[in-house]
Structure 1
Amino acid sequence: MRKPILALLTAAALLPLAQAAEPVVPTAASKPYRVVAYYISWGAYGRDFLPYDIDASKVTHINYAFANIKDGEVVVGDPGVDTGGKNNFETLQRLKKKNPNLRTLISVGGWSWSVNFSESAATPESRKRFADSAVAFIRKYGFDGVDIDWEYPVEGGSDEMKHRPEDKQNYTHLIAALRKALDAAGKEDKKYYELTTAVWGNDKFIKNTEMDKVSRDFDFINLMSYDFNGLWNKFSGHLAPFRNDPAYNKPGISDKFNVVSSVEAYLKAGVPPAKLVVGIPFYGFAWKQCPPERNGEYQDCNGKGRGTWEEGNLDFSDIEANLINRNGFTRHWNDVSKAAFLYNAKTGEFVTYEDPQALKHKLDFIKEKKLGGAMYWEITADRKQTLVNQIAESLLPKPGK
């Protein structure tokens, strides 16, 4: 989802699906909202955060990141933790047994492992091979569906990415092949397999895909409405501003780089509102030696600041515990962008991050526009569940209702 980023099923669909005579198809009009948590496989290492550490009552879906693509087929991404050792896949199965409403999806690709998508989507034969392998994967490991994280068709992505101009149409064809294979498997297995995707918040993704066509085959679409600015730029700014701030006129920063504009662009491109799930970042970016004007905001800085696991990248838990009005940092609020940020006047460190005040604007917007819910990248970064709880309390029904 990041560089190293349908509502709940109807009551009938949530019954033990093996007992159903036919698979029950979730509808986009179903309520309440979807709350989709991405879980990273590498959370099982130094972060020491395993799937059973997730409070499944506060999510509707867990998307497991990531499976890889090898020789045109979906394969286990990290055997050391996915299927061996701590065996995250088995742990997810136990979590589902305790939480029968929970849906788990395998997320395929991501920033590092999208390199072979173009080839897998190139021909009818390669698409069938990919789709059949995806079905075999979820059957073997007990997932409820597939999440496609192709970063990105036609252009963009990591330096190793392979692209074709035909990716635009082939993305549609690949998803159609997957939908067909999942539906056939669901009929045999007497359950419904979901198909979702993660999409870039940048207009380029819309230009390079056929969202009006492909959205018909997706149960919902996770909008990566973050990383509108980050450490790839030398200047400080907000990673997930709610609205555009005209004062933010740095090179390469479009007035469309904000949550509202990104959502509106996908709706205009033909994505049904109830299928569009808004992404929330559970992390922040830090720059150092930023000039004091505007409390460090929109300034040319001198490199990456402190990090939790890697330089310049901060978990929300780290920010919450150690930086908000602590250790020389002061919290500030941009009321145009509806974005919080931190600045250390002594060191010149600037931190952009998501906070409860900013998140409330996004949650209210989801309900106002009748969107599909919220997704977050990623759950290991909110140890105290501050943002997790806020999202669940806003979008999910209260117990007993």
Structure 2
Amino acid sequence: MQANLLLAAALAAALPAGASEVVGYYPGWKHESFPVSKVDAGKLTMALYAFVDLCWDGRHGNSDPSVNDVAPCQAPQNGALAWRNEAEDGANLRALVALKKAHPQFKVVISVGGWNWSNRFSNVAASAPARASFIASSLAAMRRYGLDGIDLDWEYPGEAGVPCAAGEVCARPEDRQNFIALARELRAAFDAAGRQDGRHYSITIAAGGNSNYVGDGAWVKELAQSLDWINIMAYDYHMPWENNTGHHAALFADAKDPATANGFYASRSVERYLGAGVAADKLVLGVPFYGYGWKGCAPGPDGDGQYQPCGGGVTDGINGGNSYGYGQLLKRGAGYKRYWNASARVPYMYNAKEQVWITYEDPASLKEKARYIKQQRLRGAMFWELSADGEHRLLNTLSESLRQ
């Protein structure tokens, strides 16, 4: 009896109740302002280390003028992993992996690509030798740092989010089928290595939530066969460069939103994948730990600035941009009033005097999304990103809500 009680206690400490995934991105370039010591591994099942790049022609990065961060690769083979700063990234990864000693449920994965660094996926996926180089390089990283897997953050197959520089190729009509081939070969190699190493190496992807990404769904269903799960980026449905305000991570449709017909809300994104034949337990719902702001927004008939014309994005957010971490939003002045959209199940702020409107996520909306995840029997939640919630208010809510 005593042995059984001890075993039960050990399992309870190792696994979150309900076994829901709580997956958070750790931005490696922010390690000085948000060191690994601030990561609450007890509330997470996985950290996605962002980002690692791919080498092509001896270089990595993106030569598009809007990014322009090209640098030499550490390993010159086409398809090999390329690090932002190998010494810093390695130190961060070792520190994250060290958290597993006290938190056995916690996994550490490297995320390859991202918005700025997806421009070489098309070349790599189209080349059998480059795919082989990527797989070998990934396995070497797994074993070197004691990692648990790879997250493929290709934004996006067939349609590059950041355009290529003139004369370069970063998207092909064959990208989707090449992605399937890459994932299939990676799965075979990871499974073989896992048998040798006595462990499981996971493969996940960050995937778009709109109809352009999913298409008719057939390719997504085939791709999912090689994946542990799909992290749906169910946010950025509305952005500050739009002329009107809108919720960037609505859970459900709001008939008042002019873009509702486009299906720009989280539950519709999930429906696209379920409709494609992807199992619910292979779907993780992405949520944002940040918000966006618009300026010059008319109050409108309800006096709250919602769905109203504006003069552009507010630029006093993170790194002088339009996005705001949750901690920043809590520090807005007394003139900001919180509102709640009962249809979309999300909050928003409006300052009538300054005419600033903000869309964001808060504990109330995260509880709604956790309830939806459990109702739909999805695998769990993913969020971008840990440093935006420095005091763990959102992480605590998300973790606790999924475990209840």
TM-score by length of 1: 0.86
Q: What is the identity, as a one-letter code, of the residue corresponding to 1:388?
A: L
Q: What is the identity, as a one-letter code, of the residue corresponding to 1:247?
A: K
Does residue 117 (structure 1) correspond to residue 156 (structure 2)? The answer is no
Match of 1:255 in 2: 262
Q: Is the 8 A contact 1:285 1:353 kept in 2?
A: yes
- Give the CA deviation at 1:200: 0.8
Match of 1:212 in 2: 221
The 3 A distance-change label for structure 1 pair 177 and 208 is farther
Q: What is the identity, as a one-letter code, of the residue corresponding to 1:111?
A: W
Structure 1 portions without partners, runs of 5+: 1-10, 15-25
Question: What's the secondary structure of 1:296's corresponding residue?
Answer: coil
- Give the CA deviation at 1:246: 2.1
Deviations 1:132-191 (A, max 9, x none): 211112212221100100000001411227100000111111100110111111111111
The 3 A distance-change label for structure 1 pair 138 and 254 is farther
Q: What is the identity, as a one-letter code, of the residue corresponding to 1:117?
A: F
Q: Is the 8 A contact 1:168 1:208 kept in 2?
A: no
Whole-angstrom CA distance in 2 between matches of 1:92 and 1:137: 14
Find the partner of 1:187 among 173, 195, 210. 195
Q: Is the 8 A contact 2:231 2:285 kept in 1?
A: yes
Report percent identity of matched pairs: 39
Whole-angstrom CA distance in 2 between matches of 1:368 and 1:91: 35
Find the partner of 1:41 among 28, 31, 34. 28
Match of 2:298 in 1: 291
The 3 A distance-change label for structure 1 pair 249 and 363 is same
Match of 2:72 in 1: none
Q: Is the 8 A contact 1:153 1:208 kept in 2?
A: no
Q: Is the 8 A contact 2:241 2:312 kept in 1?
A: no
Q: What is the identity, as a one-letter code, of the residue corresponding to 1:137?
A: A
Question: What's the secondary structure of 1:392's corresponding residue?
Answer: helix
Question: What's the secondary structure of 1:143's corresponding residue?
Answer: coil
Q: Report 1:28-67 matches (<5 A).
A: 31-45=18-32, 48-67=33-52
Whole-angstrom CA distance in 1 between matches of 2:337 and 2:298: 15
Whole-angstrom CA distance in 2 between matches of 1:74 and 1:93: 19
Q: Is the 8 A contact 1:34 1:277 kept in 2?
A: yes
Whole-angstrom CA distance in 2 between matches of 1:287 and 1:81: 35
Q: Report 1:220-259 matches (<5 A).
A: 220-249=229-258, 254-259=261-266
Count of residue pairs the alignment pairs up: 362
Question: What's the secondary structure of 1:151's corresponding residue?
Answer: coil
Whole-angstrom CA distance in 1 between matches of 2:398 and 2:38: 18
Whole-angstrom CA distance in 2 between matches of 1:256 and 1:303: 23
TM-score by length of 2: 0.85
Find the partner of 1:177 among 185, 192, 197. 185
Q: Is the 8 A contact 1:56 1:99 kept in 2?
A: yes
RMSD after superposition: 2.0
- Give the CA deviation at 1:356: 1.6
Match of 1:367 in 2: 374
Question: What's the secondary structure of 2:396's corresponding residue?
Answer: helix
Structure 2 portions without partners, runs of 5+: 1-7, 56-77
